[in-house]
A and B are shown apart, each in its own frame.
Chain A
Amino acid sequence: MTDRTTDNTAIIDATTARNEILRVENLSLWIKKGADEIQILHNASFSIKDGERWGIAGESGAGKSMMMHTVAALLPNGSTRTEGAILYRLKDGSWQNLFDIPYAKRHEFVSKRVAFIFQDSIHALNPNERIRKQWAATAKLHHPGITDEECEEHLLERMDTFAIPGGMGTLGSYPHQLSGGMRQRIAIAMALESQSKAGAYEPSVRNGIIVADEPTTSLDSISQRSVVDYIEYICDKGGKTLLYVSHNLGILQHLCDNLMVMKDGVIIEQGRADDLFFRARESYTKAIVRETLNVMGKTSGGMS
Protein backbone atom coordinates (compact mmCIF):
# COMPACT_ATOMS: atom_id res chain seq x y z
CA MET A 1 0.00 0.00 0.00
CA THR A 2 1.62 3.20 -1.10
CA ASP A 3 1.74 5.96 1.43
CA ARG A 4 0.13 9.17 0.46
CA THR A 5 1.94 11.98 2.13
CA THR A 6 0.37 15.30 2.78
CA ASP A 7 2.91 16.93 0.52
CA ASN A 8 1.54 15.29 -2.59
CA THR A 9 -2.02 16.26 -1.91
CA ALA A 10 -0.99 19.78 -0.98
CA ILE A 11 0.43 20.16 -4.43
CA ILE A 12 -2.63 18.71 -6.08
CA ASP A 13 -5.16 20.71 -4.12
CA ALA A 14 -3.25 23.63 -2.77
CA THR A 15 -6.19 25.88 -2.09
CA THR A 16 -8.00 23.58 0.24
CA ALA A 17 -5.22 21.20 1.33
CA ARG A 18 -7.59 18.30 1.46
CA ASN A 19 -6.33 14.83 2.15
CA GLU A 20 -7.90 11.62 1.15
CA ILE A 21 -9.23 10.03 4.32
CA LEU A 22 -11.28 7.11 3.05
CA ARG A 23 -10.84 4.93 0.04
CA VAL A 24 -13.04 2.12 -1.10
CA GLU A 25 -11.57 -0.14 -3.79
CA ASN A 26 -13.58 -2.68 -5.76
CA LEU A 27 -15.91 -3.42 -2.89
CA SER A 28 -18.32 -6.28 -3.49
CA LEU A 29 -20.81 -7.65 -0.99
CA TRP A 30 -22.78 -10.87 -0.95
CA ILE A 31 -25.57 -11.79 1.45
CA LYS A 32 -26.20 -15.43 2.22
CA LYS A 33 -29.79 -16.48 2.00
CA GLY A 34 -30.17 -20.14 2.80
CA ALA A 35 -27.93 -21.99 0.40
CA ASP A 36 -27.62 -19.10 -2.05
CA GLU A 37 -25.79 -15.86 -2.10
CA ILE A 38 -27.15 -12.62 -3.45
CA GLN A 39 -24.72 -10.02 -4.64
CA ILE A 40 -25.62 -6.65 -3.22
CA LEU A 41 -22.62 -4.53 -4.20
CA HIS A 42 -20.58 -4.85 -7.38
CA ASN A 43 -17.05 -3.47 -7.45
CA ALA A 44 -17.81 -0.15 -5.82
CA SER A 45 -14.90 2.27 -5.76
CA PHE A 46 -14.66 5.81 -4.56
CA SER A 47 -12.41 8.15 -2.62
CA ILE A 48 -13.37 10.67 0.02
CA LYS A 49 -11.24 13.66 0.90
CA ASP A 50 -11.29 15.50 4.19
CA GLY A 51 -14.05 18.10 4.37
CA GLU A 52 -15.90 16.92 1.28
CA ARG A 53 -19.64 16.47 1.26
CA TRP A 54 -20.84 13.52 -0.72
CA GLY A 55 -24.38 12.63 -1.56
CA ILE A 56 -25.26 9.03 -2.31
CA ALA A 57 -28.35 8.84 -4.47
CA GLY A 58 -30.39 6.00 -5.91
CA GLU A 59 -33.67 4.18 -5.55
CA SER A 60 -34.50 1.93 -2.63
CA GLY A 61 -32.77 -1.39 -3.07
CA ALA A 62 -29.83 0.18 -4.90
CA GLY A 63 -27.45 -0.75 -2.12
CA LYS A 64 -26.66 2.72 -0.77
CA SER A 65 -27.49 1.89 2.80
CA MET A 66 -25.71 -1.48 2.63
CA MET A 67 -22.61 0.15 1.29
CA MET A 68 -22.49 2.62 4.17
CA HIS A 69 -23.11 -0.12 6.69
CA THR A 70 -20.23 -2.08 5.19
CA VAL A 71 -17.89 0.90 5.29
CA ALA A 72 -18.84 1.52 8.91
CA ALA A 73 -18.36 -2.12 9.93
CA LEU A 74 -22.00 -2.52 10.90
CA LEU A 75 -22.72 -5.75 9.06
CA PRO A 76 -23.23 -9.05 10.86
CA ASN A 77 -20.39 -11.48 10.37
CA GLY A 78 -21.90 -14.82 9.53
CA SER A 79 -24.32 -13.92 6.81
CA THR A 80 -22.19 -11.73 4.56
CA ARG A 81 -19.14 -12.05 2.35
CA THR A 82 -17.02 -9.21 1.06
CA GLU A 83 -14.28 -8.65 -1.45
CA GLY A 84 -12.21 -5.56 -2.05
CA ALA A 85 -10.78 -3.06 0.38
CA ILE A 86 -11.99 -0.31 2.65
CA LEU A 87 -9.08 1.90 3.55
CA TYR A 88 -9.04 4.41 6.34
CA ARG A 89 -6.30 6.97 6.70
CA LEU A 90 -4.48 6.79 10.02
CA LYS A 91 -3.09 9.71 12.00
CA ASP A 92 0.41 9.00 10.81
CA GLY A 93 -0.65 9.13 7.19
CA SER A 94 -0.62 5.43 6.46
CA TRP A 95 -3.62 3.42 5.40
CA GLN A 96 -5.45 0.69 7.30
CA ASN A 97 -7.65 -1.78 5.49
CA LEU A 98 -10.75 -2.43 7.54
CA PHE A 99 -10.78 -6.05 6.48
CA ASP A 100 -7.31 -6.59 7.91
CA ILE A 101 -8.67 -5.88 11.37
CA PRO A 102 -10.24 -8.89 13.12
CA TYR A 103 -14.03 -8.75 12.96
CA ALA A 104 -14.54 -8.15 16.66
CA LYS A 105 -12.30 -5.08 16.68
CA ARG A 106 -13.59 -3.45 13.54
CA HIS A 107 -16.44 -1.54 15.05
CA GLU A 108 -14.22 -0.05 17.71
CA PHE A 109 -11.81 1.14 15.04
CA VAL A 110 -14.55 2.65 12.93
CA SER A 111 -16.46 4.29 15.76
CA LYS A 112 -13.47 6.49 16.52
CA ARG A 113 -13.60 7.82 12.99
CA VAL A 114 -17.16 7.61 11.84
CA ALA A 115 -20.32 8.94 13.40
CA PHE A 116 -23.28 7.05 11.96
CA ILE A 117 -26.70 8.65 11.96
CA PHE A 118 -29.28 5.98 11.39
CA GLN A 119 -32.54 6.28 9.58
CA ASP A 120 -34.48 6.20 12.81
CA SER A 121 -32.21 8.34 14.95
CA ILE A 122 -34.99 9.49 17.17
CA HIS A 123 -35.82 5.98 18.17
CA ALA A 124 -32.25 5.61 19.35
CA LEU A 125 -33.39 7.21 22.57
CA ASN A 126 -34.51 4.93 25.36
CA PRO A 127 -37.93 6.15 26.51
CA ASN A 128 -37.37 4.82 30.01
CA GLU A 129 -34.19 6.69 30.84
CA ARG A 130 -33.52 10.35 31.41
CA ILE A 131 -31.45 12.09 28.74
CA ARG A 132 -28.51 12.64 31.06
CA LYS A 133 -28.14 8.94 31.77
CA GLN A 134 -28.22 7.83 28.15
CA TRP A 135 -26.00 10.56 26.85
CA ALA A 136 -23.49 10.14 29.66
CA ALA A 137 -23.27 6.45 28.87
CA THR A 138 -22.40 7.18 25.26
CA ALA A 139 -19.95 9.91 26.22
CA LYS A 140 -18.14 7.65 28.66
CA LEU A 141 -17.81 5.07 25.95
CA HIS A 142 -15.80 7.45 23.84
CA HIS A 143 -13.96 9.14 26.67
CA PRO A 144 -12.94 6.38 29.03
CA GLY A 145 -11.79 7.46 32.45
CA ILE A 146 -13.93 10.58 32.56
CA THR A 147 -15.46 11.40 35.94
CA ASP A 148 -19.11 12.20 36.50
CA GLU A 149 -18.53 15.93 37.03
CA GLU A 150 -16.37 16.16 33.95
CA CYS A 151 -19.01 14.27 32.01
CA GLU A 152 -21.72 16.66 33.13
CA GLU A 153 -19.60 19.62 32.04
CA HIS A 154 -18.93 17.90 28.77
CA LEU A 155 -22.64 17.36 28.12
CA LEU A 156 -23.49 20.97 28.88
CA GLU A 157 -20.77 22.13 26.56
CA ARG A 158 -21.99 19.86 23.85
CA MET A 159 -25.49 21.16 24.24
CA ASP A 160 -24.09 24.60 23.62
CA THR A 161 -22.25 23.46 20.52
CA PHE A 162 -25.28 21.69 19.18
CA ALA A 163 -27.74 24.45 20.01
CA ILE A 164 -29.82 22.31 22.33
CA PRO A 165 -31.56 24.60 24.77
CA GLY A 166 -32.65 23.95 28.29
CA GLY A 167 -29.43 22.97 30.03
CA MET A 168 -29.97 20.93 33.17
CA GLY A 169 -33.68 20.86 32.60
CA THR A 170 -33.30 19.10 29.30
CA LEU A 171 -30.74 16.69 30.65
CA GLY A 172 -33.08 15.74 33.45
CA SER A 173 -36.04 15.08 31.17
CA TYR A 174 -37.32 11.91 29.66
CA PRO A 175 -37.47 11.75 25.87
CA HIS A 176 -41.24 11.99 25.67
CA GLN A 177 -41.17 15.26 27.59
CA LEU A 178 -39.19 16.95 24.84
CA SER A 179 -40.33 18.05 21.42
CA GLY A 180 -39.55 15.94 18.36
CA GLY A 181 -37.08 18.49 17.12
CA MET A 182 -35.17 18.45 20.39
CA ARG A 183 -35.05 14.68 20.41
CA GLN A 184 -33.58 14.65 16.94
CA ARG A 185 -30.86 17.05 17.90
CA ILE A 186 -30.00 15.05 20.99
CA ALA A 187 -29.95 11.82 19.01
CA ILE A 188 -27.65 13.36 16.43
CA ALA A 189 -25.43 14.89 19.10
CA MET A 190 -25.18 11.48 20.76
CA ALA A 191 -24.26 9.91 17.45
CA LEU A 192 -21.50 12.47 17.14
CA GLU A 193 -19.96 11.75 20.52
CA SER A 194 -17.18 9.95 18.74
CA GLN A 195 -16.29 13.21 17.12
CA SER A 196 -16.01 15.16 20.31
CA LYS A 197 -13.23 16.64 22.32
CA ALA A 198 -13.28 16.23 26.08
CA GLY A 199 -10.77 18.47 27.75
CA ALA A 200 -7.42 16.79 27.88
CA TYR A 201 -8.69 13.27 27.66
CA GLU A 202 -9.00 12.66 24.01
CA PRO A 203 -8.04 15.04 21.25
CA SER A 204 -10.66 15.73 18.67
CA VAL A 205 -10.76 13.20 15.91
CA ARG A 206 -9.11 14.75 12.92
CA ASN A 207 -10.45 12.83 10.02
CA GLY A 208 -13.96 12.71 11.35
CA ILE A 209 -16.63 11.45 8.99
CA ILE A 210 -20.36 11.77 9.46
CA VAL A 211 -22.43 9.16 7.66
CA ALA A 212 -26.14 9.92 7.56
CA ASP A 213 -28.29 7.09 6.27
CA GLU A 214 -31.57 8.60 5.05
CA PRO A 215 -32.10 10.34 8.39
CA THR A 216 -35.21 12.17 7.25
CA THR A 217 -37.11 9.52 5.36
CA SER A 218 -39.79 8.99 7.95
CA LEU A 219 -40.13 12.66 8.84
CA ASP A 220 -42.52 15.24 7.50
CA SER A 221 -41.46 18.31 5.56
CA ILE A 222 -40.87 20.75 8.38
CA SER A 223 -38.97 18.29 10.56
CA GLN A 224 -37.02 17.16 7.53
CA ARG A 225 -35.92 20.70 6.83
CA SER A 226 -34.88 21.18 10.40
CA VAL A 227 -32.75 18.02 10.46
CA VAL A 228 -31.04 18.79 7.16
CA ASP A 229 -30.31 22.37 8.24
CA TYR A 230 -28.92 21.00 11.46
CA ILE A 231 -26.59 18.57 9.80
CA GLU A 232 -25.42 21.38 7.56
CA TYR A 233 -24.76 23.51 10.61
CA ILE A 234 -22.72 20.79 12.30
CA CYS A 235 -20.67 20.20 9.20
CA ASP A 236 -20.01 23.89 8.70
CA LYS A 237 -19.04 24.40 12.29
CA GLY A 238 -16.77 21.41 12.67
CA GLY A 239 -15.41 21.14 9.16
CA LYS A 240 -16.62 17.56 8.96
CA THR A 241 -16.69 15.24 6.04
CA LEU A 242 -20.19 14.14 5.16
CA LEU A 243 -21.61 11.08 3.43
CA TYR A 244 -25.34 11.59 3.08
CA VAL A 245 -27.54 8.82 1.71
CA SER A 246 -30.87 9.88 0.27
CA HIS A 247 -33.17 9.28 -2.64
CA ASN A 248 -34.20 12.95 -2.50
CA LEU A 249 -32.12 14.87 -5.01
CA GLY A 250 -33.36 18.21 -3.66
CA ILE A 251 -31.75 17.58 -0.29
CA LEU A 252 -28.55 16.35 -1.90
CA GLN A 253 -28.33 19.39 -4.10
CA HIS A 254 -28.74 21.57 -1.06
CA LEU A 255 -26.21 19.82 1.14
CA CYS A 256 -23.55 18.22 -1.01
CA ASP A 257 -20.89 19.26 -3.45
CA ASN A 258 -20.14 15.77 -4.70
CA LEU A 259 -22.49 13.03 -5.73
CA MET A 260 -22.52 9.35 -6.53
CA VAL A 261 -25.47 7.61 -8.09
CA MET A 262 -26.13 3.95 -7.41
CA LYS A 263 -28.31 1.40 -9.13
CA ASP A 264 -28.52 -2.31 -8.34
CA GLY A 265 -25.37 -2.26 -6.29
CA VAL A 266 -23.24 -0.46 -8.86
CA ILE A 267 -21.98 3.12 -8.70
CA ILE A 268 -23.26 4.33 -12.04
CA GLU A 269 -21.70 7.73 -11.98
CA GLN A 270 -19.84 9.92 -9.53
CA GLY A 271 -18.34 13.35 -9.49
CA ARG A 272 -19.13 16.93 -8.64
CA ALA A 273 -22.82 17.30 -7.88
CA ASP A 274 -23.45 20.05 -10.37
CA ASP A 275 -21.85 18.02 -13.14
CA LEU A 276 -24.27 15.19 -12.48
CA PHE A 277 -27.31 17.39 -12.11
CA PHE A 278 -26.70 19.43 -15.22
CA ARG A 279 -24.31 17.55 -17.44
CA ALA A 280 -24.79 13.92 -16.58
CA ARG A 281 -23.21 11.35 -18.83
CA GLU A 282 -25.12 8.21 -17.85
CA SER A 283 -28.71 7.79 -18.96
CA TYR A 284 -29.78 6.52 -15.56
CA THR A 285 -28.54 9.68 -13.89
CA LYS A 286 -30.37 11.74 -16.47
CA ALA A 287 -33.49 9.68 -15.84
CA ILE A 288 -33.57 10.33 -12.11
CA VAL A 289 -32.94 14.03 -12.65
CA ARG A 290 -35.80 14.06 -15.10
CA GLU A 291 -38.14 12.20 -12.73
CA THR A 292 -37.34 14.55 -9.87
CA LEU A 293 -38.08 17.58 -12.02
CA ASN A 294 -41.26 15.84 -13.11
CA VAL A 295 -42.57 15.24 -9.61
CA MET A 296 -41.94 18.88 -8.82
CA GLY A 297 -44.12 19.73 -11.75
CA LYS A 298 -41.31 21.12 -13.84
CA THR A 299 -40.94 19.17 -16.99
CA SER A 300 -37.85 20.37 -18.72
CA GLY A 301 -38.85 19.39 -22.20
CA GLY A 302 -37.87 15.76 -21.71
CA MET A 303 -40.43 12.98 -21.76
CA SER A 304 -41.72 11.75 -18.42
Chain B
Amino acid sequence: MSDIATQTTTPSNSSVVLEVRGLVKEYRKAGSPFKRADTFEAVSNVSLDVRQGEIVCLLGESGCGKTTLARMIMHLTRPTAGTITLNGCEMQGLNERRFRPLRQYIQMVYQNPFDCLDPSRRVGSLLEEPLKLWHPELSKEERTRRISGMLQECGLDESCLVKKPRQFSGGQLQRLSIARALLVDPKLLIADEIVSALDVPIQNQILDLLVRMKEEHGFSVLFITHDLSVARKVSDRVIVMHRGEVVGFGATDELLENPSDPYIRKLADSVFTFEGCPD
Protein backbone atom coordinates (compact mmCIF):
# COMPACT_ATOMS: atom_id res chain seq x y z
CA MET B 1 0.00 0.00 0.00
CA SER B 2 2.73 2.40 0.94
CA ASP B 3 4.51 2.28 -2.36
CA ILE B 4 1.47 2.68 -4.54
CA ALA B 5 0.58 6.19 -3.46
CA THR B 6 3.69 7.30 -5.17
CA GLN B 7 2.45 6.29 -8.58
CA THR B 8 1.87 9.24 -10.70
CA THR B 9 0.20 10.33 -13.85
CA THR B 10 3.12 12.52 -14.86
CA PRO B 11 6.06 10.89 -16.63
CA SER B 12 8.14 9.03 -14.09
CA ASN B 13 11.39 10.57 -15.17
CA SER B 14 10.41 13.95 -13.79
CA SER B 15 12.30 14.48 -10.61
CA VAL B 16 10.85 13.88 -7.20
CA VAL B 17 10.68 17.01 -5.10
CA LEU B 18 9.26 15.46 -1.95
CA GLU B 19 9.43 11.86 -0.88
CA VAL B 20 7.64 10.65 2.24
CA ARG B 21 8.01 7.04 3.41
CA GLY B 22 6.30 5.30 6.27
CA LEU B 23 5.64 8.48 8.21
CA VAL B 24 4.13 8.06 11.65
CA LYS B 25 3.12 10.58 14.31
CA GLU B 26 2.15 9.18 17.64
CA TYR B 27 0.63 11.20 20.44
CA ARG B 28 0.34 10.04 24.00
CA LYS B 29 -3.06 10.37 25.58
CA ALA B 30 -3.08 11.58 29.17
CA GLY B 31 -2.72 8.57 31.39
CA SER B 32 -2.66 7.93 35.11
CA PRO B 33 0.60 7.38 36.96
CA PHE B 34 -0.37 3.76 37.52
CA LYS B 35 -1.04 2.83 33.95
CA ARG B 36 1.10 3.34 30.92
CA ALA B 37 -0.36 6.11 28.80
CA ASP B 38 -2.27 5.10 25.71
CA THR B 39 -1.00 6.38 22.44
CA PHE B 40 -2.88 7.21 19.33
CA GLU B 41 -1.51 7.62 15.87
CA ALA B 42 -2.47 10.84 14.18
CA VAL B 43 -0.52 9.78 11.10
CA SER B 44 -0.12 6.10 10.36
CA ASN B 45 2.44 4.81 7.90
CA VAL B 46 1.90 7.41 5.19
CA SER B 47 3.97 7.40 2.01
CA LEU B 48 3.69 9.72 -0.94
CA ASP B 49 5.66 11.50 -3.64
CA VAL B 50 5.36 14.91 -5.15
CA ARG B 51 7.07 15.40 -8.46
CA GLN B 52 8.30 18.43 -10.28
CA GLY B 53 5.49 20.58 -11.64
CA GLU B 54 2.63 18.56 -10.15
CA ILE B 55 -0.35 19.61 -8.10
CA VAL B 56 -1.03 16.76 -5.72
CA CYS B 57 -4.11 16.96 -3.59
CA LEU B 58 -4.29 15.58 -0.08
CA LEU B 59 -7.99 15.04 0.51
CA GLY B 60 -9.55 14.26 3.85
CA GLU B 61 -11.93 15.33 6.56
CA SER B 62 -10.92 17.32 9.59
CA GLY B 63 -9.07 15.12 12.04
CA CYS B 64 -7.73 12.75 9.41
CA GLY B 65 -4.14 13.77 10.03
CA LYS B 66 -3.51 15.88 6.96
CA THR B 67 -2.53 18.98 8.94
CA THR B 68 -0.22 16.94 11.18
CA LEU B 69 1.37 15.51 8.08
CA ALA B 70 1.87 18.98 6.63
CA ARG B 71 3.45 20.21 9.86
CA MET B 72 5.90 17.33 9.80
CA ILE B 73 6.85 18.07 6.22
CA MET B 74 7.33 21.71 7.19
CA HIS B 75 9.57 20.61 10.04
CA LEU B 76 7.32 22.23 12.62
CA THR B 77 6.75 18.87 14.36
CA ARG B 78 9.01 15.84 14.63
CA PRO B 79 7.73 12.54 13.21
CA THR B 80 7.74 9.50 15.44
CA ALA B 81 8.99 7.30 12.62
CA GLY B 82 9.51 7.37 8.87
CA THR B 83 11.50 9.53 6.47
CA ILE B 84 10.94 12.78 4.67
CA THR B 85 13.26 13.53 1.79
CA LEU B 86 13.21 17.00 0.33
CA ASN B 87 15.15 17.67 -2.82
CA GLY B 88 17.14 14.51 -2.26
CA CYS B 89 18.03 15.42 1.31
CA GLU B 90 16.64 13.41 4.20
CA MET B 91 15.48 15.95 6.71
CA GLN B 92 13.23 14.52 9.40
CA GLY B 93 16.10 13.96 11.80
CA LEU B 94 17.80 17.31 11.39
CA ASN B 95 17.62 19.87 14.12
CA GLU B 96 16.25 23.31 13.34
CA ARG B 97 19.63 24.86 12.73
CA ARG B 98 20.67 22.24 10.20
CA PHE B 99 17.29 22.25 8.52
CA ARG B 100 17.01 25.99 8.18
CA PRO B 101 18.90 26.30 4.89
CA LEU B 102 16.36 23.92 3.37
CA ARG B 103 13.44 26.11 4.36
CA GLN B 104 13.88 28.09 1.21
CA TYR B 105 12.66 25.16 -0.82
CA ILE B 106 9.43 24.52 0.96
CA GLN B 107 6.83 27.07 1.93
CA MET B 108 3.30 26.91 3.25
CA VAL B 109 0.15 28.97 2.88
CA TYR B 110 -2.18 28.61 5.84
CA GLN B 111 -5.91 28.16 6.24
CA ASN B 112 -6.93 31.17 8.23
CA PRO B 113 -6.08 34.27 6.21
CA PHE B 114 -6.69 36.49 9.21
CA ASP B 115 -4.13 34.74 11.34
CA CYS B 116 -1.16 34.17 9.05
CA LEU B 117 0.30 37.68 8.99
CA ASP B 118 1.68 39.37 12.08
CA PRO B 119 -0.98 41.94 13.01
CA SER B 120 1.53 44.30 14.58
CA ARG B 121 3.57 44.84 11.43
CA ARG B 122 3.12 46.57 8.13
CA VAL B 123 2.79 44.36 5.08
CA GLY B 124 5.84 45.89 3.45
CA SER B 125 8.08 44.88 6.30
CA LEU B 126 6.58 41.38 6.44
CA LEU B 127 7.36 40.87 2.76
CA GLU B 128 10.84 42.31 3.01
CA GLU B 129 11.99 40.11 5.86
CA PRO B 130 12.19 36.79 4.03
CA LEU B 131 13.74 38.40 0.99
CA LYS B 132 16.45 40.01 3.10
CA LEU B 133 17.09 36.69 4.74
CA TRP B 134 17.37 34.50 1.67
CA HIS B 135 18.79 36.99 -0.79
CA PRO B 136 21.04 39.32 1.19
CA GLU B 137 22.90 40.14 -1.98
CA LEU B 138 19.99 42.18 -3.31
CA SER B 139 20.03 45.93 -2.93
CA LYS B 140 17.06 47.83 -1.55
CA GLU B 141 15.89 48.85 -5.01
CA GLU B 142 16.09 45.31 -6.29
CA ARG B 143 14.14 44.06 -3.33
CA THR B 144 11.46 46.68 -3.85
CA ARG B 145 11.31 45.78 -7.50
CA ARG B 146 10.86 42.09 -6.79
CA ILE B 147 8.19 42.74 -4.19
CA SER B 148 6.24 45.05 -6.50
CA GLY B 149 6.51 42.54 -9.29
CA MET B 150 5.25 39.73 -7.13
CA LEU B 151 2.38 41.83 -5.77
CA GLN B 152 1.30 42.66 -9.27
CA GLU B 153 1.40 39.04 -10.32
CA CYS B 154 -0.82 38.25 -7.36
CA GLY B 155 -3.33 40.91 -8.27
CA LEU B 156 -2.33 43.47 -5.65
CA ASP B 157 -0.63 46.84 -5.85
CA GLU B 158 2.02 48.77 -3.98
CA SER B 159 -0.42 50.60 -1.77
CA CYS B 160 -0.57 47.37 0.26
CA LEU B 161 2.92 47.86 1.57
CA VAL B 162 2.13 50.54 4.11
CA LYS B 163 -1.01 48.92 5.45
CA LYS B 164 -1.42 46.49 8.29
CA PRO B 165 -3.00 43.05 7.86
CA ARG B 166 -6.28 43.95 9.52
CA GLN B 167 -7.04 46.40 6.72
CA PHE B 168 -7.42 43.61 4.18
CA SER B 169 -10.15 41.15 3.24
CA GLY B 170 -9.75 37.38 3.46
CA GLY B 171 -9.09 36.99 -0.24
CA GLN B 172 -6.50 39.76 -0.27
CA LEU B 173 -4.75 38.26 2.73
CA GLN B 174 -4.44 34.92 0.99
CA ARG B 175 -2.95 36.67 -2.02
CA LEU B 176 -0.43 38.33 0.28
CA SER B 177 0.32 35.00 1.88
CA ILE B 178 0.95 33.43 -1.49
CA ALA B 179 3.09 36.36 -2.58
CA ARG B 180 5.17 36.13 0.57
CA ALA B 181 5.72 32.41 0.15
CA LEU B 182 6.69 32.75 -3.50
CA LEU B 183 9.15 35.57 -2.89
CA VAL B 184 11.70 33.09 -1.57
CA ASP B 185 11.26 31.00 -4.72
CA PRO B 186 10.38 27.61 -3.26
CA LYS B 187 10.30 24.31 -5.09
CA LEU B 188 7.29 23.04 -3.18
CA LEU B 189 4.32 24.97 -1.88
CA ILE B 190 2.00 23.39 0.65
CA ALA B 191 -1.48 24.93 0.53
CA ASP B 192 -3.31 23.97 3.72
CA GLU B 193 -7.06 24.50 3.12
CA ILE B 194 -6.30 27.90 1.71
CA VAL B 195 -9.75 28.56 0.29
CA SER B 196 -11.93 26.90 2.92
CA ALA B 197 -12.59 30.14 4.73
CA LEU B 198 -13.44 32.16 1.62
CA ASP B 199 -16.60 32.85 -0.35
CA VAL B 200 -17.07 30.93 -3.58
CA PRO B 201 -16.22 33.75 -6.04
CA ILE B 202 -13.03 34.50 -4.12
CA GLN B 203 -12.22 30.79 -3.93
CA ASN B 204 -12.19 30.68 -7.69
CA GLN B 205 -9.92 33.68 -7.92
CA ILE B 206 -7.39 32.26 -5.47
CA LEU B 207 -7.40 28.83 -7.10
CA ASP B 208 -6.90 30.38 -10.52
CA LEU B 209 -4.07 32.47 -9.11
CA LEU B 210 -2.38 29.43 -7.63
CA VAL B 211 -2.52 27.46 -10.85
CA ARG B 212 -1.33 30.43 -12.87
CA MET B 213 1.64 31.05 -10.54
CA LYS B 214 2.55 27.41 -10.67
CA GLU B 215 2.68 27.51 -14.44
CA GLU B 216 4.74 30.72 -14.35
CA HIS B 217 7.24 29.79 -11.67
CA GLY B 218 7.38 26.02 -11.99
CA PHE B 219 6.95 24.93 -8.39
CA SER B 220 5.00 21.87 -7.21
CA VAL B 221 1.99 22.06 -4.95
CA LEU B 222 0.74 19.81 -2.20
CA PHE B 223 -2.84 20.99 -1.94
CA ILE B 224 -4.66 20.01 1.23
CA THR B 225 -8.43 20.21 1.29
CA HIS B 226 -11.61 18.51 2.47
CA ASP B 227 -13.63 19.81 -0.47
CA LEU B 228 -13.99 17.39 -3.35
CA SER B 229 -15.06 19.94 -5.90
CA VAL B 230 -11.96 21.99 -5.19
CA ALA B 231 -9.78 18.88 -5.38
CA ARG B 232 -11.26 18.02 -8.72
CA LYS B 233 -10.80 21.49 -10.07
CA VAL B 234 -7.22 22.02 -9.09
CA SER B 235 -5.26 18.80 -8.90
CA ASP B 236 -3.84 16.22 -11.24
CA ARG B 237 -3.64 13.53 -8.66
CA VAL B 238 -5.32 12.98 -5.32
CA ILE B 239 -4.38 11.07 -2.17
CA VAL B 240 -7.22 10.41 0.25
CA MET B 241 -6.57 10.24 3.97
CA HIS B 242 -8.83 8.94 6.70
CA ARG B 243 -7.96 8.46 10.38
CA GLY B 244 -4.27 8.96 9.72
CA GLU B 245 -3.97 6.50 6.88
CA VAL B 246 -3.92 6.69 3.13
CA VAL B 247 -7.09 4.95 1.90
CA GLY B 248 -6.91 5.79 -1.76
CA PHE B 249 -4.90 7.54 -4.44
CA GLY B 250 -4.86 8.08 -8.15
CA ALA B 251 -5.95 10.44 -10.87
CA THR B 252 -8.57 12.71 -9.35
CA ASP B 253 -11.53 12.12 -11.64
CA GLU B 254 -11.00 8.38 -11.86
CA LEU B 255 -10.75 7.92 -8.14
CA LEU B 256 -13.84 9.91 -7.31
CA GLU B 257 -15.95 8.35 -10.04
CA ASN B 258 -15.16 4.75 -9.21
CA PRO B 259 -14.16 4.62 -5.60
CA SER B 260 -13.06 1.26 -4.31
CA ASP B 261 -12.83 2.17 -0.67
CA PRO B 262 -16.16 2.58 1.19
CA TYR B 263 -14.95 5.72 2.87
CA ILE B 264 -14.07 7.31 -0.44
CA ARG B 265 -17.42 6.31 -1.79
CA LYS B 266 -19.14 7.99 1.15
CA LEU B 267 -17.02 11.05 0.57
CA ALA B 268 -17.89 11.16 -3.11
CA ASP B 269 -21.58 10.71 -2.30
CA SER B 270 -21.55 13.57 0.15
CA VAL B 271 -21.01 16.15 -2.51
CA PHE B 272 -24.01 18.28 -3.32
CA THR B 273 -24.00 18.57 -7.03
CA PHE B 274 -25.29 21.72 -8.59
CA GLU B 275 -26.98 22.32 -11.88
CA GLY B 276 -27.57 25.75 -13.20
CA CYS B 277 -27.51 28.01 -16.18
CA PRO B 278 -26.18 31.46 -15.61
CA ASP B 279 -27.07 32.91 -18.98
Contacts and interface: CB of A to CB of B under 8 A. Distances in A.
- The answer to A–B direct touch (Cβ < 8 A) is yes
Interface of A: 59-60, 220-225, 228, 247-251, 253-254, 277-280, 286-297, 300-302, 304
Given A253-B275, A296-B232, A291 B201 contact: yes
Contacts of B266: 222
A222 B208 CA distance: 26
14 contacts: A59-B200, A221-B227, A221-B267, A224-B270, A249-B274, A254-B272, A278-B276, A279-B277, A286-B278, A288-B201, A289-B277, A296-B232, A297-B229, A297-B233
Contacts of A253: 272, 274-276
A143 to B, nearest CB: 36
B212 to A, nearest CB: 12
Interface of B: 61-62, 199-201, 203-204, 207-208, 226-230, 232-233, 266-267, 269-279
B274 A250 contact: yes
B199 A60 contact: yes
B267 A247 contact: no
Contacts of A280: 278
B259 to A, nearest CB: 13
A220 B226 contact: yes
B24 to A, nearest CB: 23
Contact of B61 (A221, A279, A293, A300): A221
Contacts of B229: 295-297
A247 B201 CA distance: 11
A221 B232 contact: no
A63 to B, nearest CB: 14
A250 B200 contact: no
Nearest to B201: A291
A289 B276 contact: yes
B58 to A, nearest CB: 14
B279 A225 contact: no
Given A288-B201, A290-B278, 9 more contacts: A59-B200, A223-B61, A225-B270, A293-B278, A295-B204, A296-B229, A296-B233, A297-B229, A301-B279
B232 A286 contact: no
A221 B228 contact: yes
Given A220-B62, A221-B226, A247-B199, A293 B232 contact: no
A223 to B, nearest CB: 8
Contacts of B233: 295-297
B279 A297 contact: no
Contact of B271 (A249, A250, A279): A250
B277 A225 contact: no
A83 to B, nearest CB: 28
A199 B129 CA distance: 69
A279 to B, nearest CB: 7
Contacts of A287: 201, 278
